[in-house]
Structure 1
Amino acid sequence: MWSKILKFFGKSECSNCLAHQNQVASESVHGAELDAKQMLWARCDVCVEQNQVCKCDQSADDQHLKSVTDVGHNHDGDHQANSSFAHAVINMIGMLIGLGQLSTPYALENGGWSSVFLLIGLGLICTYSTLLLGKCLDKNANSKSYTDIGHQAFGNKGKIILATFIYLEIFMTLVSYTISLHDNIIVAFSGVKLNLPWAKLSTSQLLTILAVLVAVPSLWLRNLSSISFLSFGGILMSAVIFSSVACTAIFGGVKADHKIPALQLHKIPAISGLYIFSYAGHIVFPNLYVTMKDPSKFKKGTIVSFTLVTTLYTILAFMGAKLFGPQVNPQITLSMPPHFIATKIALWATVLTPMTKYALEFSPLALQLEHNYFPSKISPKTKTILRGLVGSFLLLLILALALSVPYFEHVLGLTGSLLSAGVCIIFPCALYTKICWAEISRPVLAMNLVLIGFGALLGVLGTVSSSKMLIESLKGT
């Protein structure tokens, strides 16, 4: 009788090898694959021991593992984990480099050469906070975005607060990019005059509108791997700007003999927002993590990306401050000799940079729209059309605001202090502390609390300072 009972359970175990897919698929990718293999092998061992013909054939094994892998890598059905390490690094660097390299010479000259320690320190802090976001994602395989981490840590209230900051940062960042586009395009097209009798717009405004309309189709892209070529374009434009400034120092007839003050403490609050914004990319980093084929390489990619970006910022900051001194413009390209060929190249690179940024900056908002507001039954093609229409409308709204408030350094500083300080420093430390409370050592807990306080201090002081200057500039017009 016992042999019959064992025989029965042996058959039952073998015939139900695929019955545990849901349990296994809920685990992380690598753990799920390992558990799936062990489960299948265990079932087959039972079959062998009971001298039964095993029904756990190779096709069932392959199908089961494929199902587990798909669930682990494909978090939402549309955005598979198909991004390589190179794609992730390109997207991360492309996200970080942009307006920061234009403003760091201005920030360094105003804050003093010793403020470079603040620039480098913020780079280290933002590297650490990015890694914290990756650790939070490791804790819950269902988390796909920054707001999901907020929900995991603090429930719906946390998700709402984070979403508010993220959407505002996206909006203000795109406004800043468009202001930069407006400021540089008129210089790049010097001598060109456009006039529409029915529209009371200047030549610079018309040129900016045309440039933004050219960039609108990029908002219809859905896959981050597809967007990586735009990120590479942004990196290329940044390299061109850096090279152009270097050529100005060597061949442009501008002597790098200006003395940089050691420290201007009263200006630190205003420039801190510019420094923080230079590392603002955290809203996209969780999405990059989720779409990586091998998330274990996220740490390496983060360190490589931030190291390269911080090095470039530091060199360019000193170069620009030494070249132009107190006359340095908040956008370094507008300080360069107007008739020098390198200046014209840099201006064109600056004009093209926002066009490479719109799609990647918009992607977190687009993903949230798809997850939370688009019906789940609609086709991917319809989703693409809807997100494209929403993105196009928002970009036109951003264009209108940018043309109304053309104060680059004040808007950028306010964005960095009011929003980026929270998104890049305060929230990652708070989320990690809450989610991993049971595992955090006292030194790590103390460090996170110090960073939260430091981020809050910079945020408050910078917001007050930038707001005052923006209001004064608006009153003066």
Structure 2
Amino acid sequence: MESKMGHDISRVECVSCELCVEENKMSECEHVEGKFKTESNECTDIKQPVQRSCSFTQSIINMTGMVIGLGQLSNSYGLQHAGWVSIFLLLGLGMICAYTACLIGKCLNKIPESRSFTDIGQQAFGTKGKIIAAIFSYTEIFMGLVSYTILLHDNLDMVFTGIPFKVPILEKSKILTTIAVFITLPSLWLRDLSSIAFLSAGGIIMSALIFLTVTSTAISGVVKANHNIPVLRLNEIPHVSGLYAYSYAGHVVFPNIYTSMKDPSKYMKVVVVSFTIVMSLYTALAFLGAKMFGTDISSQITLSMPQDRIATKIALWATVLTPMTKYALQFAPFAVQLERNLSSFKKSRTRKIIRSSIGSIILITILTLALSVPYFHHVLSLTGSFVSISICIIIPCTFYTKIYLTEISKPRLFLNVIIITIGSVISITGTIASSKSLIKIITTATRSG
């Protein structure tokens, strides 16, 4: 292969990959996306390949680890308050989210250049689509990290109950949460999803531990699973729908999982296996928790368990460690985009300084907000209703329909319109209900304080 200048460019070195692997010092070419250096020291416009390092199993671990999380703690609370019939809403949302996850894969397959949620928005509606996708994507990432930080705060306080730890002015729980969050900071800059997979696996193990400890508490008879679950409370459905929707949040990361797969053709299988695992665990734990604790159940099932039991201590520690395994994967889309935006900087030290500064500012903002508004299920419900339903249901269907408009069949088009309509209704009613609840509790707390 000869260039116009007669130089041999048969050997081409990738200077910047999607995740900008700085450790690759083979070339001194500037980090300009889509450019490669030839042996003649020229940069040639050749589309850069995507790093595909994740196996089928690693992809399942990443997707399952991304989706499973806060839902297992809050779904028992939702089922008890909305009634056992609401389990069909939980399962229905799960199937819809699995369907839209597959649509994301189809969009990425249609346009190979797309590598992120915002890229799909760009292909569907141009700049406006990209902006909308970016706003909702980064809002969900931000609010998701806030929710995980609130979870850390609530459970760390229980884990270290009775342990003397005093600092003037500051509360023990806030100090512990701050320490835990900053411990996770280095993990935020892991960019290779095959490396993040071990954290995802840790999250899955923590989730399994929570399930086993709750189950063992019921089997041992320490807590009798004999409480009644109401049939249906319609007035609670809008509020609970946000909790259920957030249980399946993760679609922002799915493009990263797809593009990191060695064999993207197996993406649909990854979705089916991952969502089947998550939905099964959610359903079992929702019923078990509601039967065990009834109307006394906390918004986080681990906080309702008897505090003097070893199983409870294990569950609390697993709940504390779960967010610490989630931060990196949750933050991955933002980290990848930030790397791409910083690719014009020649010096790696400059990029590291900018990246660390931005990451620290975001982390401090998240920590401050989480400690200021420590109302777990209200924040989770609002995030689920306002952001997650849009990201997981409405936007994927809309983008897919626009991209495949000339090819989509009438039944598929009708199905997508129905799903968009259902998602919109749930989002509007849920956002109104959860906003009112959050404003009310903040107002009450302010007055009492």
TM-score (norm 1): 0.82
Cα displacement (A) at 1:412: 0.1
| 1:431 aligned residue | 399
| 2:416 aligned residue | 448
| 1:161 aligned residue | 132
Between the aligned partners of 2:248 and 2:121, the Cα distance in structure 1 is 20
Between the aligned partners of 2:334 and 2:245, the Cα distance in structure 1 is 21
Cα displacement (A) at 1:220: 2.3
Cα displacement (A) at 1:86: 1.1
Is 1:179–2:137 an aligned residue pair?
A: no
Structure 1 gaps, min length 5: 1-11, 23-70
| 1:419 aligned residue | 387
Between the aligned partners of 1:116 and 1:21, the Cα distance in structure 2 is 57
Between the aligned partners of 2:358 and 2:332, the Cα distance in structure 1 is 12
The answer to whether the 8 A contact 1:194-1:206 is kept is no
Count of aligned positions: 408
Is 1:218–2:187 an aligned residue pair?
A: yes
The answer to whether the 8 A contact 1:257-1:322 is kept is yes
Between the aligned partners of 2:316 and 2:235, the Cα distance in structure 1 is 32
Q: Which amino acid aligns with 1:86?
A: T
Q: 1:378-417 counterparts in 2 under 5 A? A: 378=346, 383=351, 386-417=354-385
Structure with bigger gyration radius: 1
* Greater percentage in helix: 1
> CA RMSD, aligned part only?
2.0
Between the aligned partners of 1:374 and 1:86, the Cα distance in structure 2 is 32
Between the aligned partners of 1:90 and 1:223, the Cα distance in structure 2 is 14
CA offsets, 1:24-67, max 9 Å, x none? xxxxxxxxxxxxxxxxxxxxxxxxxxxxxxxxxxxxxxxxxxxx
Between the aligned partners of 2:301 and 2:358, the Cα distance in structure 1 is 33
CA offsets, 1:194-243, max 9 Å, x none? 2223xx22111111111111111111212111111111111010000000
Between the aligned partners of 2:69 and 2:360, the Cα distance in structure 1 is 21
* Structure 1 pair 20–202 and aligned structure 2 pair: CA distance change class (3 A): closer
Between the aligned partners of 2:328 and 2:360, the Cα distance in structure 1 is 11
Structure 1 SS opposite 2:229: coil
Cα displacement (A) at 1:377: 4.7
Cα displacement (A) at 1:135: 0.4
Q: 1:74-113 counterparts in 2 under 5 A? A: 74-75=49-50, 80-113=51-84
CA offsets, 1:84-126, max 9 Å, x none? 1111111101101111100000011111001000111111000
Between the aligned partners of 1:211 and 1:252, the Cα distance in structure 2 is 34
Between the aligned partners of 1:378 and 1:104, the Cα distance in structure 2 is 48
Is 1:248–2:198 an aligned residue pair?
A: no
The answer to whether the 8 A contact 1:176-1:402 is kept is yes
Structure 1 SS opposite 2:287: helix
| 2:43 aligned residue | none
Structure 2 gaps, min length 5: 13-45
Between the aligned partners of 1:440 and 1:20, the Cα distance in structure 2 is 41
Structure 1 SS opposite 2:52: coil
- Give 1:286's match in structure 2, choosing from 255, 278, 283: 255
Q: 1:326-365 counterparts in 2 under 5 A? A: 326-365=295-334
Is 1:314–2:283 an aligned residue pair?
A: yes
Q: Which amino acid aligns with 1:130?
A: A
* Structure 1 pair 433–189 and aligned structure 2 pair: CA distance change class (3 A): same
The answer to whether the 8 A contact 1:252-1:337 is kept is no
